[in-house]
């Protein structure tokens, strides 16, 4: 491998010749060999840095044109566009487990933009700190990248995935609106419910989760950029924060604004906690839905067997013909991971000291992993399971009419205690509710038929 010599304030460093990163990135690469190649800084953060560096250069050009000249701006914009497109991802090698402020990833972005811009210009015109990092600090850029990436991930990935599954459930509701089945509480038989009503519970849960995620987006649109090192805005020109947020909004199509209190924005991560809590709520509902589906499809002969789900792959290496609810299983595993991530995000966010939180990379990593995993999980569950759910109407009817909890319909006619006696006799002697009720003398056969209509109990 060929190397070139780069330098920073600590001296000279050899850097792979074909890479755009510089001395500070190389030092981090060598000093933090922790999860390398696997737990690198998320691509969403790199994309966000491309956006914010471009926006910052535009703001500086507007406010300080003598320093951020049109030539420099053009070069920075070209390099940032390549970062935003993902073309330069290989030039961002740093791991999550680095400095807690994300300084080295900020410098990674500064060095890549500067070196790529200089290559385009065929001369050394851009400096990583003086030009690319102008009016900024790692302490305000990294939390800004966190918020940009979080908003874009939620709006482009997770919310659309949830909305697609909601539409699938709406279709299933319409298809199954005339099917009545036994309800269940505490995993025990309960009074009747229509299958469409059961599905509507799934749908409504997801709709509420989307509402909660949308609520969490508002505070995430506030950006720390402009606070620089400790929140005072040192070395940033007046109105830089507002102008940079305006430019970020133009680049993303989102209404980002400058955070009102930069001292809060640099040290507190409550916006991320709040939003991840909404993501966790969606994960919890997805676990509930997945568990319902695999219980309802259990069998095929010794379980509930009330629905059929797609048979996607063999389920056993030893039991021929076995098919498992694998899509439900992946959903529940993803949900567990997200609940673990929520604990990590919460612990990390509680560790702000004085003017800075130094757990930001791990917060960003876990938040974005949660959004990415849950988005993919929901899409997979929708495509490979939910879209193919078919009601086993005959089994639902058999289970319904075999349920002793239908005795609840008799309460107005024979009273709660007599209805309970009817249930106990029916269960003990393996009788139908009608046979037990008539045997106990509570109703005649004819009167029982007049008042007992399970399909009207929903």
Catalytically active residues are: 186, 316
227: alpha, beta or left? (left if phi > 0; alpha if psi -120 to 50):
alpha
Return d(Cα 338, Cα 341) in angstroms, integer: 5
Closest CA to 411 of 402, 401, 420: 420
**Residue/partner pairs of 434-437 with CB below 8 Å, 24 or more apart:** 437/410
Return d(Cα 125, Cα 385) in angstroms, integer: 56
Token pair belonging to 113: 């933009």
Return d(Cα 364, Cα 78) in angstroms, integer: 26
Diameter over CA atoms, the chain: 102
Which residues lie below 8 Å from residue 393, measured CB to CB, with a gap of 6+?
179
Token pair belonging to 279: 């993501």
CA 361, distance to chain mean position in Å, is 17
> Are 231 and 266 contacting, i.e. CB atoms less than 8 angstroms apart?
yes
Return d(Cα 360, Cα 348) in angstroms, integer: 8
Q: What angle do CA 385, 217, 342 make, to 5 degrees?
A: 65
CA 49 → CA 26, 249, 338, distances in Å? Answer: 18, 14, 25
> Are 203 and 169 contacting, i.e. CB atoms less than 8 angstroms apart?
yes
Backbone CA torsion sign across 39, 43, 47, 50: positive
Helix/strand/coil for 182? strand
């Amino acid at each position: 491998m060929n190397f070139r010599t780069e330098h920073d304030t600590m001296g000279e460093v050899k850097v792979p010749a074909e890479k755009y990163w510089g001395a500070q990135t190389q030092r981090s690469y060598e000093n933090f060999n922790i999860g390398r190649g696997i737990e690198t800084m998320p691509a969403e953060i790199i994309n966000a840095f491309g956006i914010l560096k471009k926006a910052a250069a535009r703001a500086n050009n507007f406010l300080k044109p003598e320093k951020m000249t049109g030539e420099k701006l053009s070069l920075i914009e070209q390099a940032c566009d390549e970062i935003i497109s993902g073309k330069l991802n290989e030039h961002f090698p740093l791991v999550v487990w680095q400095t807690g402020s994300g300084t080295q990833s900020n410098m990674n972005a500064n060095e890549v933009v500067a070196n790529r811009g200089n290559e385009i210009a065929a001369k050394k015109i851009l400096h990583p700190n003086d030009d690319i990092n102008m009016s900024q600090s790692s302490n305000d850029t990294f939390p800004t990248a966190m918020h940009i990436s979080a908003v874009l991930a939620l709006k482009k990935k997770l919310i659309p995935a949830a909305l697609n599954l909601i539409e699938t459930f709406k279709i299933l509701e319409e298809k199954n609106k005339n099917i009545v089945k036994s309800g269940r509480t505490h995993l025990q038989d309960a009074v009747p419910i229509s299958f469409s009503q059961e599905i509507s519970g799934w749908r409504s849960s997801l709709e509420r989760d989307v509402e909660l995620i949308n609520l969490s987006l508002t505070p995430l649109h506030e950006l720390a950029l402009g606070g620089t090192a400790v929140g005072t805005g040192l070395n940033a020109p007046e109105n830089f924060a507002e102008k940079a947020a305006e430019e970020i909004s133009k680049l993303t199509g989102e209404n980002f604004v400058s955070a009102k209190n930069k001292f809060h924005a640099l040290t507190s991560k409550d916006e991320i906690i709040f939003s991840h809590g909404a993501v966790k709520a969606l994960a919890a509902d997805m676990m509930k839905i997945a568990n319902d589906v695999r219980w309802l499809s259990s069998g095929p002969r010794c379980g509930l067997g009330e629905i059929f789900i797609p048979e996607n792959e063999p389920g056993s290496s030893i039991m021929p013909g076995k098919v498992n609810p694998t899509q439900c299983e992946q959903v529940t595993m993803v949900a567990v991971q997200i609940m673990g991530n929520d604990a990590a995000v919460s612990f990390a966010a509680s560790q702000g000291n004085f003017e800075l939180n130094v757990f930001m990379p791990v917060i960003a990593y876990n938040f974005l992993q949660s959004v990415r995993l849950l988005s993919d999980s929901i899409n997979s569950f929708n495509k490979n399971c939910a879209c193919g759910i078919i009601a086993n109407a005959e089994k639902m009817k058999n289970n319904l009419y075999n349920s002793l909890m239908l005795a609840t319909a008799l309460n107005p006619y024979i009273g709660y205690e007599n209805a309970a006696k009817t249930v106990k006799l029916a269960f003990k002697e393996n009788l139908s509710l009608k046979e037990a009720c008539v045997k106990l003398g509570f109703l005649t056969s004819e009167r029982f038929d007049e008042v007992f209509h399970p399909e009207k109990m929903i």
